[in-house]
Amino acid sequence: MTIAVLPAAPAAADDLSIWPASTAPLPHGALSVGGVALTAIAERFDTPVYVLDEGEVRGRCRAYRDAFPDADVLYAAKAFLSRAMVRWVREEGLGLDVCSAGELELAVAEGFPADRVVLHGNAKSPHDMAAALRLGVGRIVIDSPGEIARIAAAVGPSGSQKVLVRVVPGVAAGGHEKIRTGTEDQKFGLSLTDGSASRAIARILGRPELALVGLHCHIGSQITEVKPYLTAVRRMVGLMARVRDAHGVVLPELDMGGGHGIAYRPGEPALDLAELARALRAELVESCAAAGLTVPRLAIEPGRAVAGPAGVALYRVLALKRTAGRVFVAVDGGMSDNPRPALYGARYAPRLVGRRSTAGPAVATVVGRHCEAGDILAADVPLPGDLRPGDLLAVPVAGAYQFAMASGYNLVGRPPVVAVGGGAARLLVRRETPADFRARDVGA
């Protein structure tokens, strides 16, 4: 049996570039985040556990506000939402983008102003619509022709609801085909090229219950280049100009969505926020000048780029299995707390913490505990060759689309979320327990 052993790479092993800015090395191979040792969090809250650096979240909110001072920055709740996150986002001056009544009602219950919320969704349920109108949501994004009459009927003849139209601009961008949403022939939005968007706009303008205030587009996720956004802006401004020419209406708002890419492993590209802000604003001004349009109020919707780098997931090693040429490292979590690798091939960089190893790195595949061959958290990654059961592994960039997409597969129970900051740790969301599963199962 031959196990691939990598040459020692101390510089890479010490690379903390993708970790929260507060991350600091401690003796004996330990790390702290937010002034709290990760080993202490694992001992206190058990594993698996999500760790969220409050200071990193707030700092990233402020970075967006500074980069886009004249725009509406809406945090995309689908990336990660909790009562604490609602409060942090509100206090940092961001709006909110939600996709369901559940997200909306949690936010409003925590004191978030409903008029600073935008409701998305390609298939909004009656409950979603009712909650949005009852709570006074700021904007509803119309995603299909059938929604026009549904929303108008729900609003009634004596009311008025501000709406945006989601447009598919025909721009391909994003890290994987399953998260590219700006191209034709997919479930989101109304096509620019086949006239669907223009026809929907004309219908909305004929409904007094609906106040069309602007256009919306979202071209994908994990986008690391600025150019696709600029192409989308030009096409959206072109449509706004045609709306003015056809209907005499100048739309005052343009929401360019999110999808801002981040690095999940050292050396990977990430979207340059300062360059995006500069280039997006310049393109918007130039395109509007060429079309003779007043520059609309811009909105953007970062989610992953705010929450992702603020999170760390902690796991205990349960078992090791060595086969011809490969080491499988089985941990106490898996696809129930992080389905992203199985869904669209996401790659992570796990790290041993709490023990300084003198062994050279070996190629390993970190797998979960679930009954699926595809339950792989990190394939072909360098880990110490003397890894053993009981070791603690930390996975950075775990703040987005892990807790939010976690499931009850195998009735394992979803991990808790622990916030860190100022040298203290506090529980935000408790661990799901067998009692929770039994309480929901009311059959006999």
pLDDT of 73-90, one tens digit each? Answer: 999 999 999 999 999 999
| Amino acid 184: pLDDT | 57
* Cα(12)–Cα(388) distance, integer angstroms: 21
Active-site residue list: 371
- Write the CA distances from 109 to 85, 104, 105, integer angstroms: 13, 9, 6
371 burial level (CB within 10 Å; 0-12, 13-18, 19+): exposed
Listed as ranges, residues in the chain with pLDDT below 70 are 1-13, 173-187
At residue 260, what are phi and psi to the nearest 5 degrees? -70, 120
Element (H, E) at 58: helix 54-67
Nearest one of 419, 358, 434, 431 to 41, comparing CA atoms: 419
| Amino acid 8: pLDDT | 39
DSSP 220: B
**Full set of structural domains in the chain with CATH:** 10-53+309-440 (2.40.37.10), 54-306 (3.20.20.10)
* Cα(277)–Cα(67) distance, integer angstroms: 6
| Amino acid 171: pLDDT | 84
Token pair belonging to 377? 């958290």
| Amino acid 173: pLDDT | 63
Whole-prediction pTM: 0.93
Task: Convert the pLDDT of each residue in 117-169 to its tens digit.
Answer: 999 999 999 999 999 999 999 999 999 999 999 999 999 999 999 999 999 99
* Cα(363)–Cα(327) distance, integer angstroms: 7
Helix (H, G, I), strand (E, B) or coil at 230: helix
| Amino acid 379: pLDDT | 95
| Amino acid 234: pLDDT | 96
| Amino acid 2: pLDDT | 38
Pairing of strands 36-37, 31-33: antiparallel
